[in-house]
Amino acid sequence: MTLRFSLRALHILLCALSAGCNSASFSTTAERNASVAPYANEKVGQLSLRDFLLARSFLAVDNTKATVGIGSAAAIDRRGYLLTAAHALDSKDTPLQLLSMGSSPALNHILQPQVVWRGDVAKNQPDLAILYVGIPLTEIFEWAPEPKNGGLVFAVGPIYDKNMTTVSYSYAAGRLQDFSRQSKLVPPTTRFDHSAPIHGGDSGGPLATMDGRLLGINTEVFLAFLGWHYGRAIRPDLDWLRQIIDEDFSKRSASKGAGPASN
């Protein structure tokens, strides 16, 4: 019996025993803090791991929903492109707003991105969306090579109270439990299942390695059961992703210019 089969079988069992799955289960601040406590002194370059991850992450707010929707996004291209979860958007033209989780003065204002591409799960596409913000991004994630099961992973996202009146940012640590390639999706993706204590607001945010490189985008969070967390992140085919961004940027450059010439 493989680890992959065991995790999925356990997931089915937990769904049967509890209130359901794929829900916005909320990890607590204490759980998140406890998960990263052993790594508080880790650094990437001159920055703490936490600050390095936050500098490349964004809060995503959708004001078109009946209640304000909060998610996350990850900066992936210096020309102004980010990756998030498609379900964070109500429609292709939704007025999503982005706010940097980092401390850069250059990004200390609300960004209103344009949707470059949005996956449609009904059409066998991944739950991902590519955004363009129209300004250069100096801090971006580099992509990590595919890891081994059991490796440390870190998720980034907001923490907010039940009334959603105050928001702060944090990270959470866990282990990679399983990963598999989803070749039938268009584009193909790699799916990562992990144990970092995430919640609904982490959707669209990064799942990164200890050295600060990006594995994928968190898209699902399953019920926590007796302290057991099950999050899922996905990563599109990188050649496909670069092609979509290059083509979009070329069109923008040809029409009116769009900033720096390379990522």
pTM of the complete model beyond 0.75? yes
Q: What percent of the chain is predicted at pLDDT more than 70? A: 76
Task: Name which residue leads in pLDDT, 93 or 254.
Answer: 254
Three-state SS at 244: helix
- Which tokens is 10 given? 């356990």
- Which tokens is 146 given? 């595919």
- Which tokens is 182 given? 């989803």
Strand partners, 158: 169
- Start-end ranges of CATH 2.40.10.10 in the chain? 3-44+144-237, 55-140+239-255
53-96 tens-digit pLDDT = 999 999 988 766 555 567 899 999 999 999 999 988 765 555 68
Confidence class for position 7, pLDDT limits 50, 70, 90:
very low
The beta strand positions in the chain, using DSSP E, are: 43-44, 47-48, 57-62, 69-77, 81-84, 97-100, 114-118, 129-132, 152-160, 167-182, 189-194, 206-208, 214-225, 228-236
Place of tokens 């102004």: 80
The superfamily CATH assigns to domain 3-44+144-237 is Trypsin-like serine proteases (2.40.10.10)
CATH pick for 55-140+239-255 out of 2.40.10.10, 3.30.70.260, 3.60.15.10, 3.40.50.80: 2.40.10.10
Around 8, how many Cα atoms within 13 Å sit in the side-chain half-sphere?
9
